[in-house]
Amino acid sequence: MSEVKNIHQPKADNQTEDKSKTEKLDTNYWRSFKDLFRDTSLIEASNHEFGDGVKDDFEPSKLSGISRRKFLALVGASAALAGAGCSDYRSKGDIIPYNKMPEEITVGKANYYASTSTACSHGCGVLIKTREGRPIKVDGNPDHPVSKGKTCAKCQASILSLYDPERLKFPMRKSRNGGFLKSTWQHVDDEIINALNKIGNKQIAFVSQRIISPTGKKVLDDFVKQYPNTKIYSYELFDEQIRNSAWQKCYGINKFPLISWDKAKVILGLETDFLGTDGNKVETSRLYTQGREVNNLKKFNRLYVAESTLSVTGMNSDYRFRLRPDAQFEFVMCLLNEINKNGISVPGSLPLGGYSLKSFAGKYSLSLKNLKQLVKDLASAKGESVIYAGRTLPENVHIAVNLLNEALGNTALYRTDSIDVDVLPLLKHEEIKELVNDMNAGNVGMIIHYDSNPVFHFPDDLGYKDALKKVPVVVSITGSQNDSSELGNYTLPLSHDFESWGDAKTRTGFYSFQQPVIDPIFSTRQKEAILLTWLKGKPVVFDEMVYHKYLMNNWQNNLYPTFNTKMTFTEFWNAGLHDGIAILEEEPDSFGSFNSSALSELQNAVKASSKYIVVLRESYQAGDGKFLNNGWLLELPHPVSKITWDNYAAVSHNTAKDLGIKSNDMIAIRVGDRKLEIPAFIQPGTADKTITIELGFGRKVVGIVGTGVGFNANVLRSKSAGISPWIYLANNVSKSGSSYHLVATMEHHMFGEALTKDAAQKRKIIQEGTVKEYQKDAHFLNTENPVKMESLYNPHEYPGVKWGMAVDLNKCVGCGDCVVACNAENNIPIVGKDQVAVSREMQWLRVDRYYSGSIDDPVTSNQIMLCQQCDNAPCENVCPVAATTHSPDGLNQMIYNRCVGTRYCSNNCPYKVRRFNFFNYRDHFKDNYQQSHLLSLVYNPEVTVRSRGVMEKCTFCIQRIMEARSNAIEEHRPLKGSDVRTACQDACNTEAIKFGDMNDKDSEFYKKYRTHELGYYVLEDVNTRPNVTYIAKLRNIESEEV
């Protein structure tokens, strides 16, 4: 068998002066520095069952002796106490059937409601699964034209916020001593309406995040009509304003077009994480991976990324360049110069001669060979390539990128069928300053925080927080108490998305609908209903249907007529609610021709500095801070660093050396007169003198889950933008002396790498190759003849359906959305940072991330790892109570009631995918947070909630299999593999996960994935006969070398 070799051995490069001594290091797969440098502590730790800090020593000889009499006395006393305790049994109530059965409910059957998620401003279409009236799971709506049945991790996790025990349950008003008192809607409505009527000529300011609802916007318009002094300020922590502004200067319309990522042969991403947090990743990652189809190599794209710190997009690149963000402009100008030299004319008359790619490569220690390959690819893929700049880069870079795309004819990949729509344009960054000036001047009579948290989001030096003190009435409409509501007079509880009516318009060509799948659980209202009540102008009795009627009226009178449909309005409305969308024929605005006058902006470009540069990014886990109380997201390992429950300052190992720090050391960063102390983390692949921090952490006012989680890097932002509102040059960075404990899962559940050097390679856990190699020899992996071991047992026959999974590693981007979906589907508990620290995270599915190559320029491989449902499962043989057994359809099952918690199975599992409940995490985590009655409503009733002392693991969503089987029996037909979709498969944006019947030789699953020549099984040589097939990743690099 040919040995699998590393395809990315870093080469000595003549143009690279110093590739550092890491060049000499071993370049095989590694997960962390401890792994790479064969740290003895890691090898020592692998000899112990438990992680550091877990006291598991048990020495019977050290136990104190006990007499027989004492023993019997203790038993007697225990029995007496138990008897007395149990005599206090209180009835939990009777279980009685429905007196009047709701029409929609069939007990035991799920209902699905199409709706729109407002977890972020992309407004993805969702299908909300409800059981006996309570929402339990969110999946994508397959009819939605953009999200096409997929969702991101935040959308999946948004259901946890519905059942957050710390949700606001009633209105509150501030007392004289500064605390909040419970109030009633009648009372607060009366007081606020009175205040509105007395507002005089003072301004009423709404501070909102992006508004995507056309009818919600109409409510605001009505409010402005009644109170003409009203101004709406809408903002986002991260927005597309710089990209749009550059586009307007170049093409005349203020909206960057959508891109046909699926048609691009060459993609260059500049400081952008379009597969992670930059833009609509649900759509972008789907389209991007359509160009990574191993069965269609002609369309196989090539991804180049130039970025400061490794991102999800960088992890998936074929070629990656480490580059500080302030060098991006020079990089694009060098590319323009090079393509110009290749005979491609560049519009305008820019002096490009001063930009040399060769000297640029030398200056930033980049591989000139790879840069030349990039130029060659861009020139040869004219009209079929995309250069895409990140939204945080300054405007001149975007204009230069627009010019480069124009010169290469790449405008052909800008979509003309649809474009993003702004129902209400976002505030310009400068306009916030005007609001604060008005507040300070006493011109603002009332501020309404309209489901927003500007005190946390706005830069501190803007002075918004202090200016709030000069506003007489501050009202916060919010789902839970936050940094802004804490400073207001009134806090009004907001209904969750799933309790609210609404509509959304995010693109041309369709509208989407939002419908409440459950009546408000508490005394909450949706924000539009609150405003409509106030608009009555006098204290009124609240009409629960007020916004529903308003929404229907607006649709009937204004929007429905634009559809020109033959359906009556009632039919149209019901069909729209059923489908979640209404398709409309609409022409998007077209963009004009390139305006060369925009190039004048390029004259004032700032040159790259040699100072430390701070890059602020959006968090994968906490978003803009909205999800900082969501345990599913906080416990999701960061896709790159694998750190949970924290943010950190990512630095390169050279920077760490310069600063004299190591991971976990606190560093002080000073930008202007602003300062932040935050733990450092040495992230391979980071540009030197660059410090990258994710925002969204460190909220001061947040629930019990998010309290003390992370550091607020917003304090480094300034009202006067640096290089951009998210990129700043630091005055000083220094070691602060103290240290912190960052918790990462990167060394958890390793495949014995600690003991066996290069296990991932030698044991063929990760197998990959290049496109060229595959073209030359489709069977280059040579997986057909693994070491055959004689089995000691007769093989089992699986005559019916036999379940299997396939994971296409060419499509898996390593985002971790599947992990959150699995949590939601299978009632997996949150364990908390302290338990993750000792390797006790409970997630059934993990994404193993391996680096290979050098520390400076690592190549990344992702592999999702879950129970392989082995035919010869080693866990089954060692269970003393037969709690884990095999099913006739090939599943390795767990019988929780039998499990006595010996953990032999986990010890014997070569894949390390079994999880043990060391505690009852429902009462162990954060003061019984998960024990709450409210949070219990999120549980899937088809999945047992496990308690302390029980082993668990992936079941291939057995409950879904059973439901499909039941449906098949009901319909008198055989069960098919395609009847079942697992939760991780449903959530995967890129369709990297396939599931089906391995015995159905005619199925797509069998023909296309199970028997694929790139398919392999992890640790096949130990004869476990796993049922998860991995399709080996192909790197689209020029070299054929392996």
Partner 1 sequence: MELENLFSKKLKRKSFFTSLGAGLAGYVAMRSFPFRLLYGRSNEDKSENKIKVKINPLAISRNKTGGNNV
**Residues in contact with partner 1 by the rule CB under 8 A:** 81, 84-85, 87-88, 102, 104-105, 110-114, 127, 129-130, 132-134, 143, 165-166, 169, 515-519, 521-522, 548, 572, 574-579, 581-583, 704, 923, 927-929, 931-934, 937
Whole-number minimum distance, CB 206 to partner 1, in Å? 27
Contact assessment for residue 889 and residue 800, using Cβ atoms and an 8 Å cutoff: yes
Whole-number minimum distance, CB 574 to partner 1, in Å? 6
Residue with Cβ nearer partner 1 (435 or 987): 987
In DSSP terms, 847 is beta-bridged to 864
Whole-number minimum distance, CB 845 to partner 1, in Å? 22
Whole-number minimum distance, CB 82 to partner 1, in Å? 11
CA distances from 251 to 399, 402, 807, 990 (A): 10, 9, 42, 32
Whole-number minimum distance, CB 479 to partner 1, in Å? 16
Whole-number minimum distance, CB 580 to partner 1, in Å? 8
Whole-number minimum distance, CB 882 to partner 1, in Å? 34
Tell me how far apart the alpha carbons of residues 742 and 271 are, in angstroms, rounded to a whole number: 25
**Contact partners, residue 194, CB within 8 Å, separation at least 6:** none
Whole-number minimum distance, CB 80 to partner 1, in Å? 9
Q: Residue 134 is inside which H or E element, if any?
A: strand 134-140
Residue with Cβ nearer partner 1 (628 or 864): 628
Quick one: how far is CA 1 from the chain centroid? 39
Residue 775, phi then psi, degrees to nearest 5: -65, -35
Q: What is the DSSP letter of 489?
A: S
Q: How many CA atoms lie within 13 A of 781 on its CB side?
A: 25
Helix runs in 458-525, H state only:
464-468
Residue with Cβ nearer partner 1 (85 or 178): 85
Whole-number minimum distance, CB 499 to partner 1, in Å? 8
Residue with Cβ nearer partner 1 (63 or 84): 84
Whole-number minimum distance, CB 699 to partner 1, in Å? 18
Tokens of 187: 């009372």
In DSSP terms, 386 is beta-bridged to 267
Contact assessment for residue 356 and residue 334, using Cβ atoms and an 8 Å cutoff: yes
Residue with Cβ nearer partner 1 (322 or 527): 527
Q: Measuring CA to CA, which residue among 1014, 661, 865 is closest to residue 31?
A: 865
Q: Measuring CA to CA, which residue among 864, 863, 861, 820 is closest to residue 843?
A: 820
Whole-number minimum distance, CB 481 to partner 1, in Å? 14
Whole-number minimum distance, CB 571 to partner 1, in Å? 8
Residue with Cβ nearer partner 1 (689 or 981): 981
Whole-number minimum distance, CB 87 to partner 1, in Å? 7
Helix runs in 237-381, H state only:
241-251, 281-290, 312-315, 328-341, 357-363, 368-380
Beta-sheet pairing, 665-671 with 502-504:
unpaired
Measured on CA atoms in the order 1032, 1035, 1039, 1041, is the torsion positive or negative? Answer: negative
Whole-number minimum distance, CB 985 to partner 1, in Å? 14
Quick one: how far is CA 300 from the chain centroid? 25
Report helix, strand or coil for 86. helix
Contact assessment for residue 860 and residue 850, using Cβ atoms and an 8 Å cutoff: yes
Whole-number minimum distance, CB 782 to partner 1, in Å? 41
Whole-number minimum distance, CB 134 to partner 1, in Å? 5
Residue with Cβ nearer partner 1 (65 or 85): 85
Whole-number minimum distance, CB 721 to partner 1, in Å? 41
Measured on CA atoms in the order 432, 433, 439, 444, is the torsion positive or negative? Answer: negative
CA distances from 860 to 271, 640, 819 (A): 17, 9, 19
Contact assessment for residue 7 and residue 28, using Cβ atoms and an 8 Å cutoff: no
Residue with Cβ nearer partner 1 (68 or 566): 566
Tell me how far apart the alpha carbons of residues 119 and 140 are, in angstroms, rounded to a whole number: 13
Measured on CA atoms in the order 902, 905, 911, 917, is the torsion positive or negative? Answer: negative
Contact assessment for residue 268 and residue 304, using Cβ atoms and an 8 Å cutoff: yes
Contact assessment for residue 398 and residue 188, using Cβ atoms and an 8 Å cutoff: no
Q: What is the DSSP letter of 633?
A: H
Residue with Cβ nearer partner 1 (498 or 780): 498
Residue with Cβ nearer partner 1 (749 or 926): 926
Tokens of 589: 């605005």
Tell me how far apart the alpha carbons of residues 881 and 901 are, in angstroms, rounded to a whole number: 10
Contact assessment for residue 493 and residue 523, using Cβ atoms and an 8 Å cutoff: yes
Residue with Cβ nearer partner 1 (307 or 528): 528
Residue with Cβ nearer partner 1 (581 or 754): 581
Residue with Cβ nearer partner 1 (673 or 971): 971
Residue with Cβ nearer partner 1 (105 or 375): 105
Tell me how far apart the alpha carbons of residues 761 and 216 are, in angstroms, rounded to a whole number: 56
Residue with Cβ nearer partner 1 (568 or 720): 568
What is the four-CA torsion angle of 514, 517, 519, 522, rounded to 10 degrees? -90
Tell me how far apart the alpha carbons of residues 205 and 474 are, in angstroms, rounded to a whole number: 10
Residue with Cβ nearer partner 1 (104 or 1004): 104
Measured on CA atoms in the order 223, 229, 230, 232, is the torsion positive or negative? Answer: positive
Whole-number minimum distance, CB 84 to partner 1, in Å? 4
Residue with Cβ nearer partner 1 (110 or 701): 110
564 sits in the region (left: phi over 0; alpha: psi -120 to 50; else beta) called left
Residue with Cβ nearer partner 1 (542 or 798): 542
Strands (E), 881-980: 884-886, 892-894, 915-916, 951-952
Contact assessment for residue 240 and residue 256, using Cβ atoms and an 8 Å cutoff: yes
Helix axes 395-407, 328-341, angle to 10 degrees: 20
